[in-house]
Amino acid sequence: MPKYTTTDIRNLVIAGHAGAGKTSLVEALLVRAGVIGAPGDINKGTTVCDFDPEEKEHQHSLNSALASIDHGGVHVNLIDTPGMPDFLGHALAAFPAVETVAVVIDAHAGIEMVTRKIMEAAAERKLCRMIVINKIDHDNIDLPALVEQIRETFGPQCLPINLPAEGGSKVVDVFEHESGEADFSSISEAHTNIVEQVVEVDEETAMAYLEGEEVSPEKLHEVFEKALREGHLIPICFTSAAKMVGLTELLDKIERLMPNPTEGNPRPFEHGEGENVEALTYEPDPSKHVIAHVFKVTTDPFVGKLSVFRIHQGTITKDSQLYIGDAKKPFKVGHLFKLHGKEHKEVDAGVPGDICAVAKVEEIQFNDVLHDSIAHGHVHLKAMKFPVPMAGFAIESKSRGDEQKIAKALSAMEAEDPCFKLERGSETVIRGLGDMHLRVLLEKMKNRYNVEVDTHPPKIAYKETIGGKAEGHHRHKKQTGGAGQFGEVYLRVEPYEAEEGEGFEFVNDIFGGAIPGQFIPAIEKGVRQMLIEGCIAGYPMQNVRVSVYDGKYHAVDSKEVAFVTAARRAFADAVSKAKPQVLEPVVDLEITVPENNMGDIAGDLSSKRGRIMGSENIPGGMIVIKAQAPLAELSQYQNQLKSVTGGQGSYGMSFSHYEAVPPQVQQQLVSQFKPKADED
Ligand SMILES: Nc1nc2c(ncn2[C@@H]2O[C@H](COP(=O)(O)OP(=O)(O)O)[C@@H](O)[C@H]2O)c(=O)[nH]1
Ligand SMILES: [Mg+2]
């Protein structure tokens, strides 16, 4: 058994924009707590949390990494996460493992794009939040202004719990202290602000406080935790990872005030399938059945596949037999690990709240639930929102014979990353959140799986539809030597909006047996072939209702193939008269650039057939532009934005909807199309 119990555990995700100092902060906390002797260096790739070859190469965190600290009787599990927008998936994936998200903000850079995304996502998942303002040693910073901006952006419930003092060389607590000297603001005022905010969530405590009664520390913890859980308080603390300031104070706050696994809001587990899905209540009770959630899957060069999970209920030991989701057969844990950076230490058991890993269980996938009771089948976590990957490369093997190795590498990487998607169609396309994301994936393929691929921009997933109603006809008649072929079809097409799915309806409107019932499936088959192949530009067709209303047959020469062909041509005939349209995917863009680039960006977007939906100035002289644009125009956007903004701009995109392409684009796509010859 571990030396700590569930209530001794504190789990925190360390998140925030790239460069805020998250990895450095974890490193500094590890040094301060005596876990490691001296801090590693981000630039040399020697930190505990940035250990992947790709992380060393880019000097940035690209995956989540774990480290734990024993401090003052509590066991703190920290999950360091990447802060580049392209790698947001790995940060969000770790959320279900913790009670608290600590959002690190760079004192100099202020609130950035990922800061906002993380704050929003953590609130949406009802996690407790805290803000760490790091780099307080930096020159040219205005901390009072930053605190104000934070409160304006994220709400007045963001309140300092400590304040820098003595020129930023230390921090003083304002929750427990009522007086003293700070570099800005006043300790007594800050104390009153945070204590009043906290006691507000509990009427009794609020009364006692107002009447000047002493509130016990236990009671205060209880109320503090409630305020965090309800989003009524977001404490702000100050650190300098570089100068080792504010670290013990941060650990003290985590120990005394932040929620343990029996506190905070429960994770939204569900059980059942389809319409019978119900919320599942669980308890962090070590003696109950096991429920654990896999929030990270990775490949270790020494132990192979590692699946990292948070235990929510029950105790897992090396002898546990665990089921993976709905699987019928359990696996034996064998070796249970605690991860610390790239190291893994074998442990006997994990209790509720703890974060452990198993090696070499190939079947486990990201987001699986592990449990020890078949009765717990169909338990899953309520679906999490992840950004939809839109950036893509079509890939091709560099050397022949590598196809299988590539397929294996791609599925392994897909299982590890919630924002990496694979499309296998006429071309293999990898999709991610941006160029950088995709390039790192290709590097991983090379480093880990020893395969290389060529890339080119993927084909755009155009679709076809019709804008009006029309009729079509074809008589298929063939007489070659022996038996002939005969089939004649009249049909009607009209726009059709389906509740869900691609939208297709086939209606048999034949009266009086003009075509015998046995040939109707052949007609539907012919139409469906055309829906897949496309009629005007070679893209799948959607939102169409097809009604067959007349035709002719021949007692001897009519056979299935004749009606398939007749239907294909009658359908093409009808579509050509029904205002056919090519549709293209349009994406939502969120572009963050320096204010003075606004004009260039707007001009460039309009040349890309884009439109600006709104903009918002954010601290630091930046502006966030919300826009929509066709995906087809954005294949080089990353590089273009970089050159326009001198590397300061960033953007994210997600799928919005399909829209008709302009006539000249349609003409071009139609002229490139070579329809497939019918088989006779
Ligand atoms: N001046 C100063 N620099 C820091 C501090 N913490 C981190 N840095 C530097 O900021 C850069 C980014 O740090 P890193 O920990 O990789 O940030 P992350 O992307 O949030 O993990 C590195 O060059 C660090 O040395 C700090 O407290 N003060
Ligand atoms: Mg980092």
> Is the confidence at residue 680, as pLDDT, over 70?
no
Query: pLDDT for 344-363, tens place per residue?
Result: 899 999 999 999 999 999 89
Query: pLDDT for 194-220, tens place per residue?
Result: 999 998 899 888 888 888 887 777 788
Amino acid at 603: G
Amino acid at 126: K
Close Cβ partners of 628 (under 8 Å, ≥ 6 residues apart): 586, 587, 588, 589, 610, 611, 613, 656
Q: Is residue 645 within 6 Å of ligand 1 at its C-beta?
A: no
**Comparing 2 with 50, which gets the higher pLDDT?**
50
Residue span(s) of the chain under CATH 3.40.50.300 come to 6-160+234-256
Task: Output the CA angle 234-237-240, nearest 5 degrees.
Answer: 145
pLDDT at residue 160, rounded to an integer: 96
Residue nearest to atom 28 of ligand 1 (CA): 135
> Is the confidence at residue 170, as pLDDT, over 90?
yes
> Is the confidence at residue 1, as pLDDT, over 70?
no
Q: Is residue 134 within 6 Å of ligand 1 at its C-beta?
A: yes
pLDDT range class, residue 61, cuts 50, 70, 90: confident
pLDDT range class, residue 376, cuts 50, 70, 90: low
Least confident of 236-240, 371-375, 424-428, 601-605: 371-375
pLDDT range class, residue 276, cuts 50, 70, 90: confident
Residue 288 corresponds to which tokens in the numbers above?
Answer: 């109950």
* Nearest by Cα to 310 from 45, 21, 28, 64: 64
Ligand with the closest atom to the CA of 138: 1
Query: pLDDT for 10-20, tens place per residue?
Result: 999 999 999 99
**Comparing 99 with 412, which gets the higher pLDDT?**
99
> Is the confidence at residue 133, as pLDDT, over 90?
yes
**Comparing 27 with 559, which gets the higher pLDDT?**
27
Determine the atom of ligand 1 nearest the C-alpha atom of 26: 15
- For residue 211, what are the CA distances in angstroms to 188, 197, 200, 226, 645? 18, 16, 14, 21, 57
> Is the confidence at residue 569, as pLDDT, over 90?
yes
pLDDT at residue 457, rounded to an integer: 87
Determine the atom of ligand 1 nearest the C-alpha atom of 28: 6
Residue 457 corresponds to which tokens in the numbers above?
Answer: 């921009």
DSSP letter for each residue of 415-456: HH-TT-EEEESSSEEEEESSHHHHHHHHHHHHHHH---EEEE
Ligand with the closest atom to the CA of 63: 2
Q: What average pLDDT does range 444-455 have in this prediction?
A: 90
Distance separating alpha carbons of residues 678 and 530, to the nearest angstrom: 10
CA of 162 from ligand 1 middle (Å) equals 21
According to CATH, what is the number of the domain 463-578? 3.30.230.10
CA of 125 from ligand 2 middle (Å) equals 23
Determine the atom of ligand 1 nearest the C-alpha atom of 18: 19
Least confident of 21-35, 206-220, 275-289, 488-502: 206-220
118 close to 103: Cβ distance less than 8 angstroms: yes
Mean pLDDT of the chain: 90
- For domain 6-160+234-256, the CATH superfamily is P-loop containing nucleotide triphosphate hydrolases (3.40.50.300)
Distance separating alpha carbons of residues 117 and 112, to the nearest angstrom: 9
523 close to 510: Cβ distance less than 8 angstroms: no
Three-state secondary-structure class, residue 378: coil
DSSP letter for each residue of 107-157: TTTBS-HHHHHHHHHHHHTT-EEEEEEE-TT-SS--HHHHHHHHHHHH-TT
> Is the confidence at residue 679, as pLDDT, over 60?
no
Q: What average pLDDT does range 181-188 have in this prediction?
A: 90
Determine the atom of ligand 1 nearest the C-alpha atom of 27: 15
Q: Which residues pair with 463 in a beta bridge?
A: 583
Rounded-to-10 torsion of CA 292, 293, 297, 302: -10
> Is the confidence at residue 285, as pLDDT, over 80?
yes
Residue 305 corresponds to which tokens in the numbers above?
Answer: 């596949």
Residue 20 corresponds to which tokens in the numbers above?
Answer: 């805020």
Q: What average pLDDT does range 174-182 have in this prediction?
A: 87
Q: Per CATH, is 392-456 categorized as 3.90.580.10? A: no
pLDDT more than 90, % of the chain: 62
Distance separating alpha carbons of residues 461 and 454, to the nearest angstrom: 20
Q: What average pLDDT does range 126-138 have in this prediction?
A: 96
Least confident of 26-30, 96-100, 525-529, 672-676: 672-676
Ligand with the closest atom to the CA of 20: 1
For the chain, what percentages of helix, strand and coil (3-state, to nearest 5) are there? Answer: 30, 30, 40
Task: Give the distance from CA 289 to its chain's centroid.
Answer: 30
pLDDT at residue 455, rounded to an integer: 92
**Comparing 113 with 231, which gets the higher pLDDT?**
231
Ligand with the closest atom to the CA of 27: 1
* Nearest by Cα to 478 from 577, 573, 559, 580: 559
Q: What average pLDDT does range 320-327 have in this prediction?
A: 90
Q: What average pLDDT does range 541-548 have in this prediction?
A: 95
Q: Is residue 242 within 6 Å of ligand 1 at its C-beta?
A: yes
Distance separating alpha carbons of residues 63 and 116, to the nearest angstrom: 20
Residue nearest to atom 25 of ligand 1 (CA): 42
Residue span(s) of the chain under CATH 3.30.70.870 come to 392-456
Query: pLDDT for 609-628, tens place per residue?
Result: 999 999 998 766 789 999 99
CATH architecture of 583-666: 2-Layer Sandwich (3.30)
CB atoms inside a 10 Å sphere around CB 287? 9
- The structure's pTM equals 0.82
CA of 591 from ligand 2 middle (Å) equals 23
Least confident of 1-15, 305-319, 491-505, 584-598: 491-505
Q: Is residue 24 within 6 Å of ligand 1 at its C-beta?
A: yes
> Is the confidence at residue 601, as pLDDT, over 90?
yes
Residue span(s) of the chain under CATH 3.30.230.10 come to 463-578
Q: What average pLDDT does range 53-64 have in this prediction?
A: 85
Q: Per CATH, is 269-381 categorized as 2.60.40.10? A: no
Residue 165 corresponds to which tokens in the numbers above?
Answer: 């003092």
Q: Is residue 61 within 6 Å of ligand 1 at its C-beta?
A: yes
